[in-house]
Structure 1
Amino acid sequence: MTVSADPLETLHTSDRPLLMAATLAPLGRGRGDPCHRVTADGSLWRTTLMPSGPATCRLVQVDRCSVRVTAWGDGAHEFLDSVPDLLGECDTATDFAPEHPILVEAHRRYPGLRIPRTGRVLESLVPAILEQKVHGIAARASWRRLVTAHGEDAPGPAPTGMRVPPPAEVWRRVPSWEFHRAGVDPKRSRTIVAVAAVADRLEEAVTLSPVDAARRLRMVPGIGQWTAAEVGQRAFGDADALSVGDFHLAAMVGWSLLGRPLDDPGMVEYLEPLRPHRYRAIRLLEVSGTAVKPKFGPRTAVTDHRSR
């Protein structure tokens, strides 16, 4: 446990159902994420680096529409101001009208599922880059190792091992051999350094429309459609950000909704009528437990880039 400081606290109460755990689940990068932790009592702990400084937050679901939020650190005030966006208050699904019975039922059963908006671009972008074209297990291990080594201790009484995501200037200075030891190949490490060099401009993308924000991200070499969508889902709260190029997604959508696999073009065509809620449909499949993808062979091997 880190040294405690005086906390700030607020009770966020919505006028509609709110599923905190399911809404914020995509923000975590595996069970060992040093910036996102769910403890045995059901509390969700997160760290973030706000413009005013680092912050640790603890979120607890109080009732169907309320979440108690406690924050520590120099960025605590600013973080509390961002809580409505984080909990998806700006995300509405009033015009979401799926026709597939699976999606209709999932939407009915989970009215409190929302798309969060962190407003922190680099904190979503770096782990997304680490996940480019590698096994999720390896990417999460790289994120854990790099943040543990280069992030500062979380303020307040954060669970042991939690860290604050490093700022852009720290990512720019990470030596190539430390990326290598963390299992990150040169292409991904160069992309991380490149985005860190223009981090201020990328953070400004939160003020743009989702389309313009994605376009700005993709101006950086190494940032493609998939990576921009992954950031859009988290930093921008984009309910339509579809991760085209994902190794599993198109097949999962096909098997779940059609009983057969789809490729990326087929998925895009099939989900077109659901705009601007294509990502919402994906989350409903995941949260409702109706996401299906049969296994036809051995698990994909985890590539160790440290041996290359």
Structure 2
Amino acid sequence: MQTGGVIADHALTWSPAHPTDLLQTLAGLGRGGGDPTLHIDAAGAVWRTTLTDDGPATIRIEQRSPGELRCLGWGPGAATAVEAAPELAGGLDDPSEFEPRIRLIDDAHRSNPGLRIPRTGRVFEALVPAILEQKVITLQAHASWRRLVKRHGSAAPGPTPRPMHVVPSPSGWASIPSWEWHQAGVDPRRARTIVNAARYAARLEEAVRMSPADAAARLTLLPGIGVWTAAEVAQRAFGDADALSVGDYHLSNYLGHALWGRDMTDDEMLEAMTPWAGHRYRVVRLLGAAGVRGRPRRGPRMSFVDHRAI
């Protein structure tokens, strides 16, 4: 099959084991509008770039019907990326033992039956943007991500509907000069964390085959990577439906108000979420997909910090 006049290097069609809404499932992988690694085209297909062990790849996944997905791939890593597409689309996510327990979550689950937890299988690829999002507003982190990937990544293979890029290799991230981090609005602490993690990228990738606890321990051994960052990686790279982002600026109060009508500390949130152990991140995704609101915004928001002016 060809797209845009270019024949795909590899293709795969499959029927998911569980109901799957492709756009809902993959929405959490994007890093804001203009993300150079992910795009949804006019037909509703998802284009994504990745750096596999075999090289860069671009894939296009479309939902041909409620029970059928198709992936096309281009580039040296296309075979690997296409083969992993069912997992990317939540193929390993089994919601059969999930018990909503309360009406609000049950309604969210019923109204979003195709929301799966995706699994990219690429640890360092998920780690870099998570580090960029530490202690800054999301818009600022996304702007840094766009600039760095566009300047230091490679052009995406295949007939992409708009210019897209593949993330730099770990050595590429490690070789970004200090002034480039500065111009991208990334402070020295976050830049050092990424550069140091790049040196151990191969060891970090091993975490995809570990238990959740062992994977978190491997990630948090590195300076600058705490439980929040490890959870953000687990949600995307491992497809961990239980990875709760403890330490998030908003999450404890969001869940506290959405489910119990009050502010909560992280410790209170962890205790209150115990009934959904194994699916706590799923609960967060379902509430978000259902448009459930949390705490009214009364306090100050995090400020944009222009590190280029420091």
SS of the residue aligned with 2:217? helix
Cα distance in 2, alignment partners of residues 2 and 202 from structure 1:
37
1:283 corresponds in structure 2 to 285
Cα distance in 1, alignment partners of residues 80 and 71 from structure 2:
13
How many residue pairs align between the two structures? 308
1:170 corresponds in structure 2 to 172
The one-letter code matched in structure 1 to 2:262 is R
2:102 corresponds in structure 1 to 100
Cα distance in 2, alignment partners of residues 8 and 76 from structure 1:
6
The farther-off stretch of 190-199 and 248-257 is 248-257
The farther-off stretch of 168-177 and 5-14 is 5-14
Pair 1:47-2:63 in alignment:
no
The one-letter code matched in structure 1 to 2:101 is E
CA contact under 8 A between 2:8 and 2:72: conserved in structure 1?
no
Cα distance in 2, alignment partners of residues 103 and 237 from structure 1:
20
The farther-off stretch of 106-115 and 223-232 is 106-115
The one-letter code matched in structure 1 to 2:87 is D
CA contact under 8 A between 1:98 and 1:104: conserved in structure 2?
yes
The farther-off stretch of 99-108 and 280-289 is 99-108
Alignment of 1:1-308 (within 5 A): 4=6, 6-297=8-299, 299-308=301-310
Cα distance in 2, alignment partners of residues 149 and 2 from structure 1:
25
Cα distance in 1, alignment partners of residues 46 and 188 from structure 2:
34
The one-letter code matched in structure 1 to 2:38 is H
CA contact under 8 A between 2:174 and 2:195: conserved in structure 1?
yes
Cα distance in 1, alignment partners of residues 8 and 68 from structure 2:
23
For residues 1-48 of structure 1, the C-alpha deviation after alignment (integer angstroms, 9 at most, x for no partner) is 999564322212113211111111111000111001112221211000
The one-letter code matched in structure 2 to 1:159 is P
Cα distance in 2, alignment partners of residues 60 and 246 from structure 1:
33
Cα distance in 1, alignment partners of residues 17 and 47 from structure 2:
24
The one-letter code matched in structure 1 to 2:165 is R
The one-letter code matched in structure 1 to 2:12 is T
CA contact under 8 A between 1:5 and 1:73: conserved in structure 2?
no
- RMSD between aligned alpha carbons? 1.6
CA contact under 8 A between 1:3 and 1:155: conserved in structure 2?
no
Residues 238 and 91 (structure 1 numbering): CA distance in 2 closer, same or farther, change over 3 Å?
A: same
SS of the residue aligned with 2:289? helix
TM-score (normalizing by structure 1):
0.96
Residues 233 and 300 (structure 1 numbering): CA distance in 2 closer, same or farther, change over 3 Å?
A: same
Shift of 1:264: 1.1
TM-score (normalizing by structure 2):
0.96
The one-letter code matched in structure 1 to 2:67 is C
SS of the residue aligned with 1:235? helix
Cα distance in 1, alignment partners of residues 135 and 17 from structure 2:
41
Cα distance in 2, alignment partners of residues 205 and 146 from structure 1:
25
SS of the residue aligned with 1:222? coil
Cα distance in 1, alignment partners of residues 295 and 60 from structure 2:
34
